[in-house]
Structure formats: C-alpha cells, structure tokens
Amino acid sequence: MPVGRIFSLSRKLDRLAAATADEIERAYTDTLAVLCAGWDEPVTQAVRRAYPRVGAPWDEVDGAEPEATALVWGTAAHALDYDDVHMTSVTHPSAVLIPAIEAAARSAPELRDRRSTAFALGLAVNVGLGNAIGFAHYAKGWHATSTIGAVAAGAAVAHLFGLEERAFLSALAIAAAQAGGLQRNFGTMAKPLQAGLAAQAGVRAARLAMAGLEGPADVLAGDNGFIAVFEGGADAELELDVEAAVAGLSRKLFACCYLAHRPVAAAIRLHGEGASSLLSDPAIRVEVEVPPGCLKALTIDIPQTGAEAKFSGKYTVAHALLIGQLGLAAFTGQGVSRPEFVSLARRVSLKETEASGAAGVGVDRGRVTVSLMRGAEQVASASVEHYPGSPASPITRAELDGKLADCVSIGVPGDNGLAARIRSMARQFARNA
C-alpha cells in the first residue's frame, strides 16, 4: 500500500469542484453551529478552564496555542453528539478536521486559502482509512472518530502547512502515535473529549514534523502498521476519493448517537400517523428492530443524565413517539427525568435481526422498524431505510439554517448576528485557493 499517495494527492489538490466546495461550506456551517451549541456544555467548560486563553472561533484571534485551541474547539463540536457523520467509516469527521484546520490556520493567516483543500484531503484520508480498516474496528469497541481522526487531521494540517514529502509522512506517523479512543467512554465527558484530542493530535503532529521530528514513512502499512493493528488487513488498499468523501457526509437532525436516528425517524413517523394515542394503554409495548451491529453504541438502558440519553435507544424512541420530535431540550436533565418518558422507555425493547440488515456496509444498511405491539398483535408500525440527513435523504438548506439558528440561540443567546457571521465564515473557509 503506497502511503505516499496521500502526499501525492496533497501536492496536486489545489482546486475543488464547485459542488465539492458547496458541500464543504455546509460542513463548516454545520460544525460551527454545533460548536456554538456545545460551547457552554459542562465538558467544554471543563476543558476551557484548563485552557483559559482559548476563545471561541467566532471571536478575534486570541494568541492561544493552536494545539490547545484545536482541543477545546474539537471537544465543543462533539459535545452534543450533533455533528456530522460518515457512515461507512463510522466517524464524525468534521468535528475533528475543522477545529484542527481552523486552529492551525489562525496561527498562520497566510495559509487560510488552503483550508478548503486541507479539509478535502483530511476527509478523503478519513474515509479511505475507514474503508481499509473496515467495520471490525468499530465493532471491536474503538471510537473511530478519534483513532482514524487523528491521522486524518495530521494529513489535513500537513497539507495546510505545505510540508515536503518526508515531513508530511512523518506527520502521519506522529499522528498515528497519538491515535486512541474507546467506546467505553460513550455517555461521559470523555467521549467528546476524544474528538478534541484527535484534533489536537493532528495539529501537534504537523507542527512537530515541520520542526524536524521524523517517524517512519510507511506507518499505515504492513503487519504492524496502523491499518493492520486497528483490525484491517495488512494488504488492505488505501483508496482516496475527495469528491466521494465530501459528498458522503451525513448531517444530523437529532443531537444524539447516529445509531438512534433511524429508530427516532420511524418513531416520529408513527407519531405523525396518530399512533401516540395508543401509548396510554399500558399493555402496548414498543419493539425496535435494527440491522446487526446497529445497537453497538446504544449502551444506556434508562438514562439518568442528558449525556447518557444520547446513547439510549429506549429513551430517544420513547421521547420521539410521545412528542413527535427530538430537539436539544430532550437532552437536558429536566427532559430526561420526565416521568412519561421514563415510563414509556421501560416498555421499549431493542433487538438486532439478520432480516433487517441484508444490504449495505457498516451501519449504513438494511432498515429499521418500530412497532407498537399488544401481546403478539402488531397495532402500528413504521420502517425507515435511509438515515435522515444522509446523502440518500439530505438535509435541506432550510433545515440547516434552522439547526444553526437553534444552536446559536442555545449556545450564544443574545447575539442576533452570529448566525450570519458563521455563514460568512463558512463561505470564506470553502473558498477555492
């Protein structure tokens, strides 16, 4: 596997197709929106206390170290689990890449016109590594956002800095040396921190390589290389496709684990069809059937906190069935403790079935069905095949604008002009060199 093809792509990637640039603008808008919403979350506050010189990305440059800045911004972007997703690699790429690139570019303003191609390269590496390693990596319990993301961010910032080949490949090796992250941390503050750590690792790797620190030129390949160690085959091919990678991003409509989104969408559909009126009958049970592997991260039974609720398939389905939506308020302490949600969540069962997972790869396969059952009788049912916000069912401009406005109003209340500033920042970020 010629690792040097990443460097080769970096050297020739100087213009982006208009459609690709448009998608990058949406990725930036979406990421800054969720970063706003997560800015005052407890996990972000804790990291900000540790690094008090780091300001928000919509503020003026404050002189903070770019590594610390990437850590804080990456954590905030992933704090609510509301950031975008790439399904076959099972990662949240933009929450890692955009904070890393933006933080590094703030330290070298002359490189700002390379940000869009840096993002495109980093995303192509993220997707290529995810495809080469395969779903076994995620199924094993790794947090792929932070393992794969560290190397992808290293490639992105190395491109931003315009590193020569030896330094560029060393940056990949230094990033790989920092790759880590466990699903055991899901439902706690350590989970979003792992995205911040990956962003920080990418910036650190490129800076150290630029300063002359060297690592192996083929860290991804071979029996003990990155891909093989993280569950991929030693002879796996690394395919890099910028346009396909950027077009493959999914943007979240709900602020919870992406594996809950299809069950939630099916539950909202049932609510819209009037099925919620049946829920007052205590004999009604809710059955959720998903493809194999699609309960992997939904580890919380009945949540006690908003952070836990994001990884509870039972709670998110119950909330969506009763209310017909799943907004940010669903993941507050007050929302999680409401008796009607807890009571219905205890009547929800989740199971993986082979019949529901016949097509696709990773978590992007098959269909999800939510059924209301009275004994053995199915009294209502809804199925969803495509993830809402995915390329097969993309977020609309109105939905993205609504998400941005909602996130800004929660994270930075009172700043009526911030949404417009973020849209302007997104246009500048996506501008071709």
Domains and CATH numbers, the chain: 4-252+395-429 (1.10.4100.10), 258-384 (3.30.1330.120)
Angstrom CA distances, 395 to 374, 387, 388, 405, stand at 35, 10, 7, 15
Backbone angles phi, psi at 360, to 5 degrees: 85, -175
- Amino acid code (one letter) for 158: A
Residue, of 95 and 366, whose pLDDT is higher = 95
- At residue 136, the pLDDT reads 87
Give the span between the Cα atoms of 397 and 385, in whole angstroms.
22
pLDDT score of 258: 87
Q: Is 348 helix (H, G, I), strand (E, B) or coil?
A: strand
Average pLDDT, the chain: 92
Q: Report pLDDT for 62.
A: 66
pLDDT above 90: percentage of residues in the chain: 78
The tokens for 392 are 């097969």
Q: How confident is residue 433, by pLDDT bands cut at 50, 70 and 90?
A: very low
- Report CA torsion sign: 91, 56, 423, 120: negative
Q: What is the mean pLDDT of residues 137-148?
A: 94
How would residue 356 be classed by pLDDT, with cut points 50, 70 and 90?
confident
pLDDT number for residue 432: 65
Name residues whose C-beta falls within 8 Å of residue 263's C-beta, 6 or more positions apart in sequence. 288, 290, 313, 316, 317, 320, 350, 368, 370, 384
What does the pLDDT read at residue 276? Answer: 85
Report pLDDT for 401.
Answer: 94
Query: CA 205 to CA 11: how far, in whole Å?
Result: 19
Of 43-47, 107-111, 236-240, 257-261, where does the model show the most confidence?
A: 43-47
